[in-house]
Amino acid sequence: MAAALLVGLFCAIAWLFATEAGLHWALERAQRETGGKLAISGVRGTLASVVTIEQLRFLADGTRIEAREVGGHAHLAAALGGRLVIEPLHIASLDIEIREGGERLSSPPALPFGLRLGSVEVERLRLLRGEAVYTLRKLRFAHLALGTLPPGVSAEGSFELEHERYPLSGNLVLGGTLERLETHLALRQGDIAADARAVLAPFRPQHLVSLDASASPIDLARFSDELPQAALSLAVKATGSDRGLQGTLSLTNAAPGPLDQRRLPVASLEARVASRDLENATLEELRIALAGGGVLEGRGTLGAAGFQGTVKASRLNLRALRSTLRQTALSGSLEVSLAREAQSLRGTLAQEGMSISAEAVRRGDTVEVHSLRAAAAGGELSGSGKLVLGDPPTFSAKLVFARFDPAAFGDYPEGSISGGATAQGALATEPRIDLQWSLANSTLLEQALESRGSARIAGRRVLQADAEAKLGASRATARGGFGTPADKLAWTLDVPQLEDYSDDVAGRMKASGTLGGTWAAPEAVIAAQFEALELPHGFEATRATANVAGSLARHEGRFTVRTKDNEAGAEMEARLRGGFAAGTWSGELVSLEGRGKIPVSLRAAAPLRVSRLRVELGRLEASLGEGRLLVRELVWSKERVASSGEFTALPAQWLVAAAGLSERLRATMLLDGGWSLTAAPALDGMLRLRRASGDVVVLDERPIELGLQSVALDARFTNAGVGARLDIISRYATAALAGQLGRDPGAGVIGLGRDSPLFMQGQLELAHARLFAQPLLGDARFDGRVSAELQGSGTLGAPVISGSVRGDALAFDYPPYGVYLKNGELRARIEGDTLQVERFSIQAGEGRFSATGTLPLRLAEGNAKLTWQARNFGLLERPDLRLVTSGEGEASFDGKRLSLSGELRADRGHLEIEGDRVPKLGDDVVVAGQTRPGPKQKAPLPINLNIDLDLGTNLTVHAKGLEGKLGGRINLATSKEGELRAYGRLETINATFFAYGQRLQVDPGVLVFDGPLDNPTLQITAWRRNQAVEAGVQVSGTVLAPRVQIVSQPAVSEGERLSWLVLGRAPTDATKADLGLLQAAAGALLARGDSMPLDRRIARSFGLDEVSFRGSGEVQDRVLAFGKRLSDRLYVSYEQGLGTVASNLIKIDYALSRRWSLRAETGTSSGGGLFYRFSWD
């Protein structure tokens, strides 16, 4: 019996698990146990193998779960342990719908057995809640398990969210129990990554126990083209309890910026959120940091009735919102109310000199802007409006300007605008709007402004437009309509002075035209004339015209320009024909004609296509005077730039003008060459230039012709960079330069920038420096051979130059100063930014000057230092100025001041100083029509000077009657203020001084320097020796305040001293002729030390050589004599007697030699004679 029972039990189990009937029986029993909540159809398979179900449906407590095409394999061995294990499990479609009103469980359901699913695949999962539908694709779970006691949960899988524009992928990890479910969700949408960790209590009133979520970077522009760009990082943290939900919200923006630059002007947002029932929430500690330093702080409440809160602004910077607005620090409060019945916004922001306020309310379908006011700089803009949200919506608005200055609010033109504008109408599918405006008593750009007009907009038509505006002398009008083929809008524009509106353009413009057609196919006629036009880079045109006519799809234009400059053609005319469609202008350059010194002519029409992302020019062939230009290809796009062609006899002056060097260079050179270049994105190709003829002139006070004979440039561009070679031959010098520039990754398409690696070698040679230097030096002459070998490394922005400089047979002559230097030699090395002078020497006379040291290539950086030495150096070799010196010292420059120090000795020399040759006006003379010059201020010397001068014993001086030698030592130095100072003593040696017809012995002759160089102390006395009374002239005091007196040994009266000095005898022994000499001597003393006696200066003022009183001669008694030397041998004089008997006499003296002369005279008496002259002491 027991055996039978066992066999029967075994058979029943076998029937249940191994037959499809057993499967159907088990599923039907499960459906009955659920009370009809579970419905299963289309079942195949057995419990011991694979089971497939076409449809499985479960409906209970407002929740519907429906699965289709379910397939899985149950493991019976696990069932013996009280668990249901299905692996793998595949579900083609799974819908979960959660309906409102379902009963919520307060505790997790008791599971009769454990469940473990492995290798779960769900092709599509739909979550439905109300009208919202969320679709997930390709759910994959490695495992999903539910325990019994306690009801634990464990799952790990991935999924994809289906969306037309923003598909989403994610990974989900579950753990914990059904009462306390731990979740970890990782999502990715494009570049955005989000991570959320949460603890959920599904069966408690407060489902959320804790939340920690973050997402970044979030760019709003990815979701809509109308949204600004941003780089947001979001962080949310929250905790839940029986008291409700509390949390924090943090949002940071790594790339804030103004809205007009498509940036979000928010730098960060922080807030604390609290809610008891999720129906009402309190927003606390709200803080929004704006770009530019502004802050918004506030609080508010959010519930079923709406939102109500207050926000306080501080240091709000309008420029942070829009870059054209002004820099501000506005503060104020904003009140926001968003109730069901009405919504309102009210607030005022203000700072010193500016305020902005607004008040708007919506009730039902009516939105009223009660007030809008912006005031600054004494002016304001105010307005109001109303919008009724009907069918169609209607509106009305009014703006009033009162001395409104746009510049007070931002980077806008300065002005003072007064007037008003009104608008009203309906905003239907075809809007109807009436506009009116009037501006008067206004200024803009410092010019008077007036404007008035009206227009009606009906759908896409502008009707009855009548507008005019005056700005200064400029005037614009527009009248008519636009929008249909029957409409015409006529306009005019007259601008007498373009320079009033642009610093780079000048001239007059007068234009007119009509606009017709439709918005989709507009047609226009434009005629514009320009006179005295001046454009950047020195371009000037006496007249230019532009005429364009046609539709957007097909039009033609003719442009002419007449220039002042004949080099590039005195008149140019161009014609273009084409049309605009699908964002591209397609057409051709029909003709191009230039008439002038270099005629330009297009040989055939050239195709041309222009779009926002691409420019393409077909084959263009033109004549340039006797030359030719051929452009085979020219294509520009974001991905590729390509061009190739060749040219002959291209004027180099065009390249000079394009480089903005017209004021410094003038070129008559013509160039031949060709190019083939492609950038996609790296630059690849070649460039070739050759001189065909002509030269380049450097424009200066004395223009310098470079004397070019050959110029050749070859450049090759590759992915690695560019290699180039330049060879120049002129009549002055030859130069050869070859090098390579590597690519700079940050330099864009061309690939050449400051960080491009540099390698360069070059040679420069001047065979005859005289040819190059002579135009620069004027009276001076420089000659010699100079060569240099250079090497370059580093980068283009920071090159490192090295090499050597060699000079031979160097010579420098400056004849006006007697400078003759020869046999010069230079050996120097270039190291970085310095020139190391290893050896420099040059010969003058029998001696040499030499120097070594360091010179910076950029002199302004300083660090210059030279050590110099002179030995028997004949610095000056003029007949009246000779100087041979020896010495040594140093010269340095720190970037601001030059320093000179050392010792210098005069080995021998000779100095001759003649009297003043050119008369000079006194300081008290003012020339009519000229401004009287103010007193000259001595400028400080820009050098630090410390030179010891030793005049030695072989320096002879001939200066204004002084003959002898000059010796002594002085120190020349500059003070801290830059004033030149001298310290030391100079004295004469064996010197004589010729005065009053006598040669006087100087004893002593001393100059003492103890301060300013031009005001030494004088200790000079010149004696007439070897007589009973030795008399002399003594000069004391300073150069600027000298004291002159006559002295004698032994002391005698002043008149007697003068007689002994001039006559060599006492006045009692003087004759009438002697008294004349004393008169001349007294005149010299009256001159107060001037180099010319008083009587001589009187004679010069009348154009004579002599005016004097004489006491002897053929005319008796005293005579007044006038004399004039007509040549070095012929002298004519006239004598008028001053005695009781009138007498006069004319004399003519002709010198045959130093001692023999002829004389003829007539007047009161006549006669002639031959004279022999000799004299003795």
Mean pLDDT, the chain, as a whole number?
80
The answer to whether 866 and 837 are in contact (CB under 8 A) is yes
Choose among 337, 331, 272: nearest CA to 303. 337
Residue-range domain boundaries for the chain:
16-101+112-190, 362-472, 651-851, 897-915+941-1091, 1104-1177
SS3 378: coil
355, pLDDT greater than 80: yes
Six-digit token pair at 783? 């000659």
The more confident residue out of 998 and 577 is: 577
Q: Which residue in this structure is represented by tokens 């320096």?
A: 955
- What is the per-residue pLDDT for 726? 92
d(CA 842, CA 825) in angstroms, rounded, equals 6
Region 619-628: what's the mean pLDDT? 86
pLDDT of residue 1091: 46
Predicted confidence at residue 716, as pLDDT, reads 93
Residue 107's pLDDT band (cuts 50, 70, 90):
low
Highest mean pLDDT (candidates 168-177, 518-527, 588-597): 518-527
pLDDT in tens, 945-980: 888 888 888 888 887 777 888 888 988 888 877 787
Would you place residue 569 in the very low, low, confident or very high pLDDT band (cuts 50, 70, 90)? very low
Query: Of the given ranges (712-716, 1081-1085, 1168-1172), which has the lowest mean pLDDT?
Result: 1081-1085
Assess contact for 517 and 555: CB atoms under 8 A: no
Rounded distance, CA 821 to CA 847, Å? 10
Using pLDDT thresholds of 50, 70 and 90, give the confidence band for residue 66. Answer: confident
Per-residue pLDDT of 411-469, as tens digits, reads 888 899 999 999 999 887 788 999 999 999 998 888 899 999 999 988 888 888 999 99
pLDDT (average), residues 1089-1116: 59
Nearest to 736 by CA among 788, 783, 687, 699: 788
- The pLDDT, as a whole number, for residue 1137 is 77
Cα gap 577→592, rounded to integer Å: 12
Instruction: Please determine, for residue 570, whether its predicted confidence score (pLDDT) is greater than 60.
Output: yes
Burial class (CB in 10 A: 0-12, 13-18, 19+), 907: buried
pLDDT band at 370 (very low <50, low <70, confident <90, very high): confident
Strand order in the sheet with 1106-1110: 1106-1110, 1119-1125, 1130-1137, 1144-1151, 1156-1163, 1167-1172
Work out the percent of the chain whose per-residue pLDDT is above 70: 81
pLDDT of 1096: 58
In this structure, the dihedral spanned by the alpha carbons of residues 361, 366, 371 and 372, taken in order and rounded to 10 degrees, is 90
Q: What value does the mean pLDDT take over residues 374-380?
A: 88
How confident is residue 1090, by pLDDT bands cut at 50, 70 and 90?
very low
Summarised one tens digit per residue, pLDDT across range 155-213 is 787 777 766 677 788 888 877 776 787 888 888 888 888 888 888 776 676 777 888 88
| For residues 552-557, average pLDDT | 89
Band of the pLDDT at 83, cuts 50, 70, 90? Answer: low
Maximum average pLDDT range among 135-139, 751-755, 840-844: 840-844
**pLDDT score, position 81:** 53
Query: In this structure, what DSSP letter does residue 327 have?
Result: P
Tell me what pLDDT residue 435 has: 92
The helix/strand/coil state of 148 is coil
Q: What is the pLDDT of residues 713-772, one digit of tens each?
A: 999 988 888 999 999 998 888 999 999 988 887 766 567 778 888 889 999 888 777 666
pLDDT of residue 56: 77
Q: Which pLDDT value is given to residue 1014?
A: 74
Q: Provide the pLDDT confidence category of residue 391 given band limits of 50, 70 and 90.
A: confident
> What residues contact 473, with CB distance under 8 A and at least 6 apart?
447, 496, 497
488 has a pLDDT exceeding 60: yes
pLDDT tens per residue, range 786-814: 899 989 888 888 888 889 999 998 888 88
Q: How is 1027-1075 classified by DSSP, letter by letter?
A: SSSEEEEEEEEESSSEEEEEEEES---HHHHHHHHHTSS-GGG--HHHH
CB 258 within 8 A of CB 223: no
Q: How does pLDDT run across 903-919, given as a tens digit for each residue?
A: 989 888 888 766 544 45
